Structure 1
Amino acid sequence: MQSPLVRRQKGAVLLTSLLILLVLTLLAISGMQGAQLQEKMTSAVRDGQTALEAAEYAVREAEEYLEQNTVTLGNFGTSGGLYTRANAPDPMADTTWSSSDTKSVAATGFPGTLAENPRYFVEYIGITTSAEAPGDLQITNYDDFTGGSKPLGFRIVGWSSGRSGETRRIVESYYGTAK
């Protein structure tokens, strides 16, 4: 004969353990989804930083190009990455960075491989002036007495798409050089 305690059990322990197991499974799935979201956010931030560094690299390469090469004002026009004032393309237009309107820079040393080479264009904006005189680009501590000639002013715009190709960064810099 069975004891009265054994006869009254109808699977309550099994049902309770299954409910606890269900709750633990839901918590584990929720934790994994949170970890995946954080991984995506971290990856996007890293890709954005890489794109920013590559765009800055393109600007530095443009500065080197202006310093190291024989660049005359006759080189500047309406295409090819060197523009006269007000003829530069719109840096916010996607077509600007996918055409021959810009110069490509071979970039190495970045974490991972960049989706596209960084690009830049240079716009000649005129002769710069000292801080006391009106002008478009003013350079402090520089005037007719400190240099042989007034420096030429340039606007340099660099662009990069980062590693994924979905993150884009644009950097704009103003640069003066005496030629």
Structure 2
Amino acid sequence: MYKNIRIKQSGAVLFVGLMMLLVMSLIAVTSMQSSTLETRMAGNTRDSLVALQTAEAALQAGETLLDTNVLNPADFDTNGNDGLYDNSNDQLLSTLNWTAADSRSYTGFNPSNVGTAPRYVIQHISETSAAPNLLVQNYGQNQAGQIIQLYRVTARGTGGSDNTEVILQSIYGAP
């Protein structure tokens, strides 16, 4: 009834099936690599945001220290004892090691969230007399000619690792 007809098979279906499997495998591997890259990018973004937040907190701590009026220009010197520098070193940032000896630490952050506690330095820049139209926060009410001390506050924050670093600066005027 049924005749066995032997037809020579060339294997075209097998070849097409293997090519489709190869293409699907390449798409899967590329998707996995893309997903891994996106995960790394998200982690690095989080790390840099943590570094920015720690640097901002240290910067605010330095400004708060100046705002409390517990410092005077005589506290600042070339050696930067306790992170307080005078204006004699123009290259302060390039020579700073951010250690306990040459900067101040801000400990308001949980150490498990950051690689190293944020640190800051304060550099006394100069003194100037207040202009009558000075619009710096809290100093617009000053009498013209009042002496204002100018300070540069520099803060360094790290993220989850010490490899991520953010350095911020602000100029602060205090009577």
Q: What interval of TM-score do these two structures reach, taking the shorter chain for normalisation?
A: 0.7 to 0.9
Q: Deviations over 1:57-90 (max 9, x none)?
A: 1110011112236212221112220011123763
Query: Contact 1:90/1:96 (CA < 8 Å) preserved in 2?
Result: no
Equivalent residue number for residue 149 of structure 2: 152
Equivalent residue number for residue 135 of structure 1: none
Equivalent residue number for residue 87 of structure 2: 85
The offset of 1:100, in angstroms, is 1.5
The offset of 1:171, in angstroms, is 0.4
Deviation larger for 64-73 or 46-55: 64-73
The offset of 1:139, in angstroms, is 4.2
Q: How many aligned residue pairs are there?
A: 168
Is there any run of 5+ residues in structure 1 with no aligned partner, and where? Answer: 133-137
TM-score scaled by length of structure 1: 0.79
Is there any run of 5+ residues in structure 2 with no aligned partner, and where? Answer: none
What is the SS of the residue equivalent to 1:62? helix
Equivalent residue number for residue 26 of structure 1: 26
TM-score scaled by length of structure 2: 0.81
Query: Contact 1:48/1:169 (CA < 8 Å) preserved in 2?
Result: yes
Equivalent residue number for residue 97 of structure 2: 96
Distance 2:77 2:64 in 1: 20
Deviation larger for 40-49 or 51-60: 40-49
Equivalent residue number for residue 109 of structure 2: 108
Matched, 1:42 2:31: no
Equivalent residue number for residue 73 of structure 2: 73
Which residue of the other structure, out of 169, 172, 175, is the alignment partner of 1:175?
172
Q: 1:89 to 1:122 in 2, by over 3 A?
A: farther
Query: Contact 1:103/1:121 (CA < 8 Å) preserved in 2?
Result: yes
Distance 1:121 1:88 in 2: 14
Q: 1:119 to 1:175 in 2, by over 3 A?
A: same
The offset of 1:144, in angstroms, is 6.1
Q: Which runs of structure 1 show a deviation greater than 4 angstroms over 4 or more consecutive aligned residues?
A: 141-144
Distance 2:90 2:98 in 1: 12
What is the SS of the residue equivalent to 1:121? strand
Give the aligned residue type for 1:145.
Q
Deviation larger for 60-69 or 157-166: 60-69
Query: Contact 2:106/2:117 (CA < 8 Å) preserved in 1?
Result: yes
Query: Contact 1:143/1:150 (CA < 8 Å) preserved in 2?
Result: no
